[in-house]
Structure 1
Amino acid sequence: MSFAMINLFFEYTEKSQDLESSLKAAGYQHPTVVIKDNGFLPSDVESPLKYFLQAAGSKFQGRPRYFNEIDLPEYWEIKANAQSGEVLNHGQQRGRIKYWKNDRKRLVSEVSWLDEQGRVRIIDHYNQWGWKYAVTSCDKAGNQAMTSYFADNGQEVLIQNHFTGDYTYNAPDGKIYNFTSLNQLTAYI
Structure 2
Amino acid sequence: MDQTISVKTKVMLLGFFDDKANMLRESARKAGFLGPIFVLEDNGFLPDDVISIYHYFIRDALGAKPEGKARFFNEIEIPEYWSIEGDNNVATIYDMHRERGKIYYSNHDPLQRRLVKQVDWFSERGIRTSSDFYDKYGILYGRMTYDGEGQEFQMTWLSADQHEVLTQNKRTGDIIWNHDGKMKIYRNLTELTVAVLQEYERSNGVSISDVWYNSLSYPFFVSMIWKGQRVDGDCLFWQEAPRDDIPGNMQLIFDHRTETKKIFIQNLESYQRFIAAGMDATIASPLGFVFNYQKENLGRPEALICTNSDQVEHLEDIGKRYPKIHFHVCAITEMSQKLLRLGKLDNMSLYPSVSMTMVQELFQKCDYYLDINHGGQILDAVKTAYLYNQLIVGIEETAHNREYIAPEHIFTDWEKMCEYLDVVFEKHDLAEELATQKKRGMDESVVTYQKLLLFV
Q: TM-score, normalised by structure 1?
A: 0.91
Paired residues for 1:76-155 under 5 Å = 76-101=82-107, 103=111, 105-155=113-163
Greater alpha carbon shift after TM alignment, 29-38 vs 134-143: 29-38
CA distance in 2, matches of 1:124, 1:187: 27
Match of 1:31 among 33, 36, 42: 36
Deviates more, 1:46-55 or 1:131-140: 46-55
Q: What's the RMSD between the two structures over aligned residues?
A: 1.8
SS of residue paired to 2:9 = coil
Aligned-pair CA distance for 1:168: 0.9
Residue matched to 1:68: 74
- Who wins on radius of gyration, i.e. which is larger? 2
Deviation at 1:72, TM superposition (A): 1.1
Aligned residues: 188
Residue in structure 2 matched with residue 9 of structure 1 by the alignment: 14
Structure-1 residue corresponding to 2:434: none
Distance 1:58 1:65 in 2: 21
CA distance in 2, matches of 1:92, 1:174: 42
| Cα distance in structure 1, aligned partners of 2:15 and 2:192 | 14
Partner of 2:189: 182
CA spacing shift, 1:176–1:76, aligned 2, 3 Å:
same
Query: Which secondary structure does the structure 1 equivalent of 2:145 belong to?
Result: strand
Question: Which range is displaced more, 151-160 or 48-57?
Answer: 48-57
The match for 2:25 is: 20
How far apart, CA to CA, are the structure 1 residues paired with 2:104 and 2:90?
6
Match of 1:55 among 42, 48, 60: 60
Where relative contact order (Cα < 8 A, 6+ residues apart) is larger, the structure is 1
Q: Deviations over 1:38-84 (max 9, x none)?
A: 11111111222232112323443211111111121121100011111
Structure 2: 5+ residue runs without aligned partners? 1-6, 197-456
- Give the number of the structure whose residues are more often strand, by fraction: 1
* CA deviation vs aligned residue, 1:138-165 (integer Å, no higher than 9, x gap): 1233221101110111111111111100
Hey, what's the Cα distance between the residues in 2 that align with 1:28 and 1:180? 32
More helix by share: 2
Structure 1 unmatched runs, 5+: none
Normalised by the size of structure 2, how large is the TM-score? 0.39
The letter for the 2-side match of 1:53 is I
Match of 1:170 in 2: 178
Q: Provide, for residues 18-45 of structure 1, a one-character-per-residue CA deviation record: whole Å limited to 9, x for no partner.
A: 2222223333343211121311111111
CA deviation string 1:104-128 (max 9, x = no partner): 5211000001112222111011111
Aligned-residue offset at 1:137: 0.5
Q: Distance in 2 between matches of 1:26 and 1:157?
A: 36
